[in-house]
Structure 1
Amino acid sequence: MNRRVRTLTPAEALSLLTELSDSSDGEADSDGSFDQVAAPDDGGDEDAVLVAESSDESDAEPSPPPVSRHELTKSQRILQEADLQLQEPRDAGPYVVRAGRRANIVAEWLTEPPPARRRRDPANILTQTAGVQGRAKRITREADALKLFITDEVTQKIVCHTNTRLQRERQKQATTCSKNTTEKTAHRLQDVTHTEMCAFLGLCILRGFYRRLTVAQLFSPATGPAVFRATMGSKRFSKLLQMLSFDDIDTREERRRGDKFCHIRDVFNDVDSNLRRHFRPSECLTLDESLVRFRGRCPFKMYMPSKAGKYGLLLRTVADANYRYMWKLWPYSGRPTEPERSPPATYFESVPEMVKYMVEDVAGTGRNITMDRYFTSVPLAEDLLADQLTIVGTCNKRRQLLPKELTEASGREVDSSIFCFRNDVTLVSQCTKPGKLVLAVSTQHRGP
């Protein structure tokens, strides 16, 4: 059983020492300078009495309550069970990083952590309350929740551009097809209304649950759900799917020179801004990438063999780690043909520029950004720390300002870790297996 600990003031300690010295047999030292006096532990219920070293009782910080195992995350449990060893630094002095073999010193890393601070760093103080905000708090139906992101204004843009394309298709059919054929197919090319577009988008969402069925099978009485046939005909659905448009087709060719994503950029930006309008993230955000499966024709389609779909459209994402909420999206559309025509935030020359754009809405709020080795670098960590944002992430050993003592695997023991420190940046190198090192950078932590 844990013993209860009670802290005494100097006056109480002196009185207790006087009583003990009177009843002692001379075994204690004559100067009476005891650091701890404890009653015999015969049942484990006695109090342990600690002498306070200072008269200022406010300086004594209460010990944090113990955390049970079921309250830990999966990563915390793995770290708790891991048999990690803190390896001593290879050199007593600081680690020096040079631009070349004989070039000037560009960075110095200390092997000892900086002295502890009594006050928390401003970059670790959250200045906003997380959670749903605005009119989203009053939503009670799923359909109304969807309209928070795909608003009536967004739907009306799609209706307007789709009707323009339907009108051109009717004019084209009138000149190329017979009158009899035009009359038979006129109902498929009539203008779409706002209500019909909402129903069409609903069927597109529902179609995601029936990926293995073709459009003909979805509208078949034998294989498809009844909701598809009750909403619209199969040929009308196919025609709307073919004529669906999200931008002005008259100015598309000119805009495409500066933005390959121009076909859907306007609608995409509206939905993306709505993600942040109705939710304020917690203290932990995650920056990563997502591959949306797609094998059709697209000039910026990516091939990533490590992903499940291998082919698709690449999205940079910022998500809330606690609420599992997608907070910001940025599509990668490749380098434009004419960059001078590009709208803002269409293409970034470097990864740090893209990262700063993704987190610019939370700058100065004291949040933490977790990222992987593709995004993490020491200069980026220092720049974000200046904006009161901390990061935690693995790092590629080929990044700038990394000491070779932490990037070379020769002579390292398995499960050993080496730490070094520079400008509130903590760098750790762990040997996970023979010849393999994993580097991590953190501005949230100040020591091992």
Structure 2
Amino acid sequence: MTSNDVIIQRWLEQDLSDDENISNDECSDVEADVGIEHVIEESGESDSECEETTEVVSNAIAPIEIESSSTLPSEQTSSSEDEGPLSELRSRSRKKNYFGKNRFRWSSARPSLRSRMHQHNIVQEREGIKPAYRSEINASSSPLDIWQHFFTDSMLEKIVHHTNVKIREIRPNYQVSTCVQDLDIVELRAFIGFLFYTAIFKENHEHYTSRYSTDGTGREIYRCIMSKNRFEVLLKTLRFDDSASRPVRRESDASAPIIELFNSFIDQCQAVFAIGSCACIDEMLLAFRGKDSDGLNLPREYQTLKKPTQAVMRLIPPIERSNRNINFDNWYTSIELIDSLKKKQLTGVGTLRKNQKEIPPEFLAARHRNVDSTVFGFTKDIIMSSYVPKKNKAVITVSSMHHMPVVDETTKKPEIILFYNQTKIGVDLLDQRCSNYSTGRRTRRWPLAVFCRMLDISASNCYVVRLSTQPHGQKTETRFLFMKNLAKGLTIPHMDRRANNLKLQRDIRMAIRRILDSNKETTPSAVPTSSSAEERLAVRKNCST
């Protein structure tokens, strides 16, 4: 045995004695016997796995702070007689463990991959209109045809029924019963079209009386759809549930006044369209009173979870076991949520708040960390990255979808952050669309506020469906024009009926006729002819006396 062999053997014996207290090489969740602030080195993977890790790191230009394999000085590796002991040393490549405040353990070396793509990244369902509706919704479908699949006739008939109950209740309070007649589905659609007109003209927050002004400041279309008094009555009496049974239902569900209609609308949205491989969960602010609703109707096993986790678990049943990925911001993201999604065959990607107990101190912002550097931590199913965009700042992300420490060569950012930035805007984009063209009104009735937001979402969903029917997703019409055609389709049948009402003022009837004549979708039979009774009564004659 040469002198080099003696040195190597002593070094190995010392190395083994230092590591004999470490019981497990795998990435576990919690290490109970190790101090929180310590970083423990332990023996790593095989030589082939070490080379694979080195190759991944070398392909990324941005620095990745992963401990390299331990080697001896160069003078000990010069002799060809020492190949056996040195190869044994290389096979014992070392990796580092990071521990969070709750002793949650992360490894600096990724687990070995047995396949090129994990099973949980394969989505079978195709994005777009579902097969049951492809024959009914196509490129020739009008905006009204698409909208009727989200607000079906059965849903509107329930609103008509409950609203008529309220109208009959207040009818004795009116001396003139013209504006308190029963509502039908044609007039209800016209009322909804009225609200869509206020959205596209951005007049939803104006008082409704200003729209009926005849001094040139009002809009003619509103007077043609319905009278001011009738609109006021419908706005006050619009109801969405049975008021007699509401107190009993409210004991178990605070959203009882509109929950039946809301659930029906959600079911239709899920039945018509299939989302892509990535979903996004975020909050949408709608001001009304209510609290602690996240845990409603959840199984008992979820009652002990955090409130943000409960909110996510309420939303995921329609896409359970579909291998989809869900994005969320730092208010929702937690290791608890990632583990809960895994049980439902879903993955998650999100940013972590700095106060999460699973984050090791090495992943937090520090002055000694270089700009554009990234630290990776791994467990068996989760990867955590900490990227430094600027001095003394760190962006921490966690993902159960990604498994490789990949960094983009151009932006120097981890692949997880780039993926999150591309797919996190789903709810924000919907919120922006609803704000641009909103039917919401100033009201103290929170069920009416929710109903108006449902109308906003239905218009946005209809436009998405319309784009999906166009070849290669081409944008053939703007969203303003689409919503205008939708409002027109909802109001024309009722205006056509009003045009034949001889009790209306003559200028309103003539205005309705101009609107009907200018609409290409109106049939000629719907427009009164010059031989009608009204035209014969309009002929003036002189009195013989």
Q: Provide the TM-score with structure 2 as the length reference.
A: 0.53
SS in 1 for 2:389: strand
Counterpart position of 2:96: 93
Is residue 198 of structure 2 the alignment partner of residue 207 of structure 1?
A: yes
- Report which of the two has the higher share of helix: 2
The 1:343–1:354 alpha-carbon spacing in structure 2 relative to 1, beyond 3 Å, is closer
Distance in 2 (CA, whole Å) between partners of 1:148 and 1:262 is 24
Aligned Cα root-mean-square deviation (Å): 2.6
2:336 to 352, 356, 379: 379
Counterpart position of 2:278: 284
1:389-448 deviation per Cα after TM superposition (whole angstroms, max 9, x unaligned): 222211112224222221353522222210010022110011222322211011121121
Distance in 2 (CA, whole Å) between partners of 1:153 and 1:167 is 21
The offset of 1:269, in angstroms, is: 0.9
Distance in 1 (CA, whole Å) between partners of 2:379 and 2:298 is 34
SS in 1 for 2:165: helix
Counterpart position of 1:71: none
SS in 2 for 1:290: coil
User: Greater CA deviation, 145-154 or 407-416?
Assistant: 407-416
Counterpart position of 1:219: 212
Counterpart position of 1:51: none
1:138-164 deviation per Cα after TM superposition (whole angstroms, max 9, x unaligned): 231111111111111111111111111
Contact 1:364 1:387 in 2 (8 A): yes
- Report which of the two has the higher share of strand: 1
The offset of 1:130, in angstroms, is: 1.8
SS in 2 for 1:85: coil
1:193 to 184, 189, 202: 184
Counterpart position of 1:368: 325
Contact 1:259 1:343 in 2 (8 A): no
Is residue 145 of structure 2 the alignment partner of residue 144 of structure 1?
A: yes
Identity %: 28
Distance in 2 (CA, whole Å) between partners of 1:144 and 1:219 is 30
Distance in 2 (CA, whole Å) between partners of 1:232 and 1:365 is 47
Is residue 343 of structure 2 the alignment partner of residue 413 of structure 1?
A: no
Counterpart position of 1:425: 382
Counterpart position of 1:13: none
Is residue 265 of structure 2 the alignment partner of residue 271 of structure 1?
A: yes
The 1:269–1:136 alpha-carbon spacing in structure 2 relative to 1, beyond 3 Å, is farther
Q: Counterpart of 1:256 in structure 2: which amino acid?
A: R
Distance in 2 (CA, whole Å) between partners of 1:93 and 1:364 is 34
Distance in 2 (CA, whole Å) between partners of 1:117 and 1:220 is 72
Counterpart position of 1:159: 160
The 1:190–1:425 alpha-carbon spacing in structure 2 relative to 1, beyond 3 Å, is same
Is residue 234 of structure 2 the alignment partner of residue 240 of structure 1?
A: yes
1:199-256 deviation per Cα after TM superposition (whole angstroms, max 9, x unaligned): 1111112211233443122223423332221111011001100111111112223333
Is residue 185 of structure 2 the alignment partner of residue 228 of structure 1?
A: no
Count the aligned residue pairs.
309
Structure 1 unaligned spans of 5+: 1-81, 100-104, 174-181, 301-333
Superposition pairs of residues 37-116 of structure 1, within 5 angstroms: 84-88=62-66, 92-97=95-100, 99=102, 105=103, 107-116=104-113
2:127 to 127, 130, 133: 130
The 1:343–1:389 alpha-carbon spacing in structure 2 relative to 1, beyond 3 Å, is closer
Distance in 1 (CA, whole Å) between partners of 2:224 and 2:387 is 60
After TM superposition, what 4+ stretches of structure 1 lie above 4 angstroms from structure 2?
89-92, 342-345
User: Greater CA deviation, 381-390 or 362-371?
Assistant: 381-390
Contact 2:163 2:238 in 1 (8 A): yes
User: Greater CA deviation, 281-290 or 128-137?
Assistant: 128-137
Structure 2 unaligned spans of 5+: 1-59, 69-93, 406-545
Distance in 2 (CA, whole Å) between partners of 1:224 and 1:263 is 34
The offset of 1:271, in angstroms, is: 0.6
The offset of 1:89, in angstroms, is: 5.2
1:116-155 deviation per Cα after TM superposition (whole angstroms, max 9, x unaligned): 3334211011122221022254231111111111111111
Q: Counterpart of 1:390 in structure 2: which amino acid?
A: T
Counterpart position of 2:251: 257
Distance in 2 (CA, whole Å) between partners of 1:436 and 1:446 is 24
Distance in 1 (CA, whole Å) between partners of 2:297 and 2:273 is 26
The offset of 1:353, in angstroms, is: 2.4
The 1:408–1:265 alpha-carbon spacing in structure 2 relative to 1, beyond 3 Å, is same
1:32-53 deviation per Cα after TM superposition (whole angstroms, max 9, x unaligned): xxxxxxxxxxxxxxxxxxxxxx
Distance in 2 (CA, whole Å) between partners of 1:98 and 1:244 is 54
Superposition pairs of residues 303-314 of structure 1, within 5 angstroms: none
Counterpart position of 1:36: none
Counterpart position of 1:38: none
The offset of 1:262, in angstroms, is: 1.8
SS in 1 for 2:96: coil
SS in 2 for 1:223: coil
Distance in 2 (CA, whole Å) between partners of 1:232 and 1:84 is 65
Superposition pairs of residues 326-337 of structure 1, within 5 angstroms: 334-335=291-292
Distance in 1 (CA, whole Å) between partners of 2:263 and 2:185 is 20
Contact 2:382 2:399 in 1 (8 A): yes
Q: Counterpart of 2:97 in structure 1: which amino acid?
A: P
SS in 2 for 1:370: strand
Q: Provide the TM-score with structure 1 as the length reference.
A: 0.64
The 1:197–1:158 alpha-carbon spacing in structure 2 relative to 1, beyond 3 Å, is same
Contact 1:377 1:400 in 2 (8 A): no
| Higher RCO by CA contacts (8 Å cutoff, separation 6 or greater) | 2
The offset of 1:355, in angstroms, is: 1.2
Q: Counterpart of 2:121 in structure 1: which amino acid?
A: N
Q: Counterpart of 1:168 in structure 2: which amino acid?
A: E
1:348-390 deviation per Cα after TM superposition (whole angstroms, max 9, x unaligned): 7622222122122222222111111111112322332343322
The offset of 1:289, in angstroms, is: 1.5
Q: Counterpart of 1:197 in structure 2: which amino acid?
A: L
Q: Counterpart of 2:264 in structure 1: which amino acid?
A: D
SS in 2 for 1:288: coil
SS in 2 for 1:289: coil
Contact 2:387 2:396 in 1 (8 A): yes
